Amino acid sequence: MKINVLSADVYNKIAAGEVVDRPYSVVKELVENAIDAGAGEITVEIEGGGKTLIRVTDNGGGIEKDDLVRAYAPHATSKISDAGDLFGVSTLGFRGEALASIAAVSRMKIVSKTADGEAWSLASEGGTLGNVLPSAGGNGTQVTVSDLFFNTPARLKFLKSDGAEEGDVTNMMARFLLSRPEIAFTYTANGKVRYRSYGDGLAAALAVVYGAGTLDNLYEIDAEKHGIRLRGFIGNQNFAKPNRTYQSLFVNGRYVVNQTVSAALSNAYASYLMKRQYPFYVLFLDVPPEIVDVNVHPNKADVRFADNQVIYGSVYSVVSSVLDGNSRALEYLASAPKRPAEESRAVPSAPSAPTAAPAMTFEQAKKELEFEIPPLAGKVNLPRRSFTESPAAMGVHAPSPERAQEEAKEDAFEENRKFLLEREKKQRRVDPATLEFKGELFRTYLIYERGEEAYVIDQHAAHERLIYDRLRANMENRTVVSQPMLTPYVLNLNAQEFAFLEKNFGVLREIGFEIGEFGQGSVKVSSVPSDLTDLDLGAFFGEVLSNYESLRAIKLAELLKDKLASAACKAAVKGGEKLTDAEVRSLLERMDGDMGLKCPHGRPVAVLIKKSEIEKLFKRIV
């Protein structure tokens, strides 16, 4: 047997199949490039289902004349320059293989003009480049792809009918309109305008895709939970759809299909929809980039979350609250006025939710990578941390059955997360002995000086966090102290509720409840965790039980964590209360100098203000 080294031509044709296998995937890559180029207007034209023609025109930044040739080269990208950049990649593309792949299997032409350059064009046929020629046109880029797969007949044969391919392109375009409502899109098929949006918001884009009447049947939501933001539109209780094509989820701006989120939604709608009816939703889930692993494979629209339970719980509770119309629904509905939350007095600013926008600059990402990522204990053949690996290298390992890999992957996340938390803590730790208390502001903020820095601590957030930590630690160590109640609390339950609670007596006892059967489907609570003596038991159990349907998917302990956090907040000292000197000191001691702490809702506990920042305010320095 002889081993052949493939020619670049053959190699590119093979590689092309990875990225572009259908007209819609060509459209996807070209539109993503236009978005990455900062376009505010994008026009997509297709003919013959995209087999004969695909043309994408944008008004983005354009390509310099000297870069035109490079744009066709495999692994040529302007979006990252080294592996370090991968960690914080915020553009849709970064592998630099799309244009090369498309060029290899079509007749392609790029015409492009940057703001301060002339228009130039470059054509290729099956990957063979022509000359760079002067051209005409406005700012931006136009990529025309004709005769897709003309030189790979086998692949051409695999395509569906023109109509079916067009349908897939149309679905793809619908997602672009929805995911980028700030961009004006025009999409035509065989000369007919299919979609035209004007970049004026999600509701308008939704009306273009689904018809204006649809909006009457939707709730607009915008909710934040555990640093996770969920916003968009969901169908009302009666708005059933016959299939899943009315469901779009965008995680940090990317379209994905994700089991965890779709299960949370299905379960939230379970009591409203019948079998074979599906909810309508267009949802944006914005999560901190470190808890989501995007792009397992370039063409697989899935993501993995570090903690599925938190994602599941957050999505489920937001959507079910809105559908069930419970008291929290008001907080989650975008159009409804926000309730004046109790703690809002002490909240200087809402936590800034991560959005589709880059969460980290390349510079920051590089800095991040200066730290070694810990190896996976005892796990082999798995990417350590996907962000640091070349995505092309991911997904090629298939050492074990899928399931085992899933589990190992979860562990990887867990370990990485712990490591990152520890590292952050170390970075943010300040020796409490070096902090000098300077007083308080507005009966809420404690001020400490340390050399050229001042720390401002939100006493409410700090206290909240400390109580939360103590409760969690007690839970983990099973050293919970119970406080007997003067009058036991009796809960009357139906058979299912009783069965559910009974099964979980153990968990509840571990966290300090004394709970037992009280005859005839009743349950008696005679002690509560001593930290939570003023817990509203009716509300607490009401919530636990209202969620028990979904608890098949999440562990009760997870839900209890959530509940404990809110209970902790209630028990915590509120902003506006003056602390004694002793209390101030003990607060700081118990924080152990950890200035990176966040309260259970994700708000920062401490803020650092440098002397130089204050001097800037006074124009002492610039």
Choose between 278 and 362: whose C-beta lies nearer to ligand ADP: 362
| Ordered alpha helix ranges (H), 528-620 | 537-546, 556-571, 581-591, 611-617
Residue 291 contact, options ligand ADP, Mg ion, none, Cβ 5-8 Å cut-off depending on partner type: none
Classify strands 41-47 and 184-189 as parallel, antiparallel or unpaired: parallel
Q: Which of residues 293-332 bind ligand ADP (CB under 6 A)?
A: none
Binder of ligand ADP out of 12, 25, 33, 247 (CB under 6 A): 33
The verdict on 96 binding ligand ADP (CB under 6 A) reads: yes
**H or E, element range at 107:** strand 107-113
Q: Give me the least distance between CB of 143 and ligand ADP, in Å please.
A: 6
Secondary structure percentages of the chain, helix, strand, coil, to 5: 40, 25, 35
- CA dihedral 410→412→417→423, nearest 10 degrees, is 170
Strands of 327-463, DSSP E: 436-441, 445-450, 453-458
Cβ-based burial of 552 (10 A; exposed 0-12, middle 13-18, buried ≥19): exposed
Binding residue count for ligand ADP, defined by CB under 6 A:
24
Binder of ligand ADP out of 23, 49, 88, 93 (CB under 6 A): 93
Binder of ligand ADP out of 55, 65, 95, 465 (CB under 6 A): 95
Q: Is 434 left (phi over 0), alpha (psi -120 to 50) or beta?
A: alpha
The verdict on 132 binding ligand ADP (CB under 6 A) reads: no
HEC string of 175-188 equals HHHHHCCCCEEEEE
- Nearest one of 380, 388, 397 to 416, comparing CA atoms: 388
Q: Give me the least distance between CB of 145 and ligand ADP, in Å please.
A: 12
Q: Give Cβ neighbours of residue 69 (< 8 Å, ≥ 6 apart).
A: 122, 129, 132
The verdict on 170 binding ligand ADP (CB under 6 A) reads: no
Q: Give Cβ neighbours of residue 581 (< 8 Å, ≥ 6 apart).
A: none
Binder of ligand ADP out of 124, 141, 214, 504 (CB under 6 A): 141
Choose between 99 and 283: whose C-beta lies nearer to Mg ion: 99
Q: Give me the least distance between CB of 78 and ligand ADP, in Å please.
A: 3
CA distances from 577 to 250, 408, 426, 583 (A): 42, 47, 31, 11
The verdict on 18 binding ligand ADP (CB under 6 A) reads: no
The verdict on 127 binding ligand ADP (CB under 6 A) reads: no
Q: Which of residues 68-87 bind ligand ADP (CB under 6 A)?
A: 71, 76-79
Q: Give me the least distance between CB of 141 and ligand ADP, in Å please.
A: 4
Choose between 78 and 217: whose C-beta lies nearer to Mg ion: 78
- Nearest one of 346, 299, 272, 282 to 549, comparing CA atoms: 272
Residue 16 contact, options Mg ion, ligand ADP, none, Cβ 5-8 Å cut-off depending on partner type: none
Choose between 170 and 295: whose C-beta lies nearer to ligand ADP: 295
- Following DSSP, what letter does each residue of 397-429 receive, concatenated? ---S-HHHHHHHHHHHHHHHHHHHHHHHHHHHB
Q: Give me the least distance between CB of 296 and ligand ADP, in Å please.
A: 17
Residue 526 contact, options Mg ion, ligand ADP, none, Cβ 5-8 Å cut-off depending on partner type: none
Q: Give Cβ neighbours of residue 504 (< 8 Å, ≥ 6 apart).
A: 556
In the chain, the amino acid numbered 124 is: S
Cβ-based burial of 235 (10 A; exposed 0-12, middle 13-18, buried ≥19): buried
Residue 518 contact, options Mg ion, ligand ADP, none, Cβ 5-8 Å cut-off depending on partner type: none
Q: Give me the least distance between CB of 251 and Mg ion, in Å please.
A: 19
- How many C-alpha atoms does 492 have within 13 Å on its Cβ side? 1
The verdict on 162 binding ligand ADP (CB under 6 A) reads: no
Binder of ligand ADP out of 98, 329, 369, 454 (CB under 6 A): 98
Q: Give me the least distance between CB of 59 and ligand ADP, in Å please.
A: 10
Q: What x-and-dash track marks residues 34-63 binding ligand ADP by CB under 6 A?
A: x-xx--------------------x-xxxx
Residue 413, token pair as written in the block = 């996340």
The verdict on 113 binding ligand ADP (CB under 6 A) reads: no
Q: Which of residues 198-237 bind ligand ADP (CB under 6 A)?
A: none
In the chain, the amino acid numbered 593 is: G
Choose between 110 and 221: whose C-beta lies nearer to ligand ADP: 110
Q: Give me the least distance between CB of 100 and Mg ion, in Å please.
A: 10
| Angstrom distance (rounded) from CA 496 to CA 552 | 13
Q: Give me the least distance between CB of 34 and ligand ADP, in Å please.
A: 5
How far does Cα 251 stand from its chain's mean position?
4
| Binding piece for ligand ADP, criterion CB under 6 A, among 31-39, 183-191, 362-370, 391-399 | 31-39
- Nearest one of 85, 136, 84 to 113, comparing CA atoms: 136
Q: Which of residues 345-384 bind ligand ADP (CB under 6 A)?
A: none
Cβ–Cβ under 8 Å, residues 339 and 331: yes
Residue 65, token pair as written in the block = 């004349």
Q: Which positions lie near Mg ion, rule CB under 5 A?
A: 33, 93, 98
The verdict on 90 binding ligand ADP (CB under 6 A) reads: no
The verdict on 289 binding ligand ADP (CB under 6 A) reads: no
- Nearest one of 299, 297, 287, 238 to 261, comparing CA atoms: 287
Choose between 60 and 354: whose C-beta lies nearer to ligand ADP: 60
The verdict on 119 binding ligand ADP (CB under 6 A) reads: no
Choose between 33 and 214: whose C-beta lies nearer to ligand ADP: 33
Q: Give me the least distance between CB of 91 and ligand ADP, in Å please.
A: 7
Q: Give Cβ neighbours of residue 217 (< 8 Å, ≥ 6 apart).
A: 235, 236, 238, 239, 280
Q: Give me the least distance between CB of 142 and Mg ion, in Å please.
A: 15
Choose between 144 and 504: whose C-beta lies nearer to ligand ADP: 144
- Residue in the shown chain whose Cβ atom is closest to ligand ADP: 93
Residue listed under structure tokens 């990522």: 373
| Angstrom distance (rounded) from CA 472 to CA 570 | 16
Residue 234 contact, options Mg ion, ligand ADP, none, Cβ 5-8 Å cut-off depending on partner type: none
| Binding piece for ligand ADP, criterion CB under 6 A, among 98-106, 284-292, 570-578, 598-606 | 98-106
The verdict on 135 binding ligand ADP (CB under 6 A) reads: no
Binding region for ligand ADP (CB under 6 A): 29, 33-34, 36-37, 58, 60-63, 71, 76-79, 93-100, 141
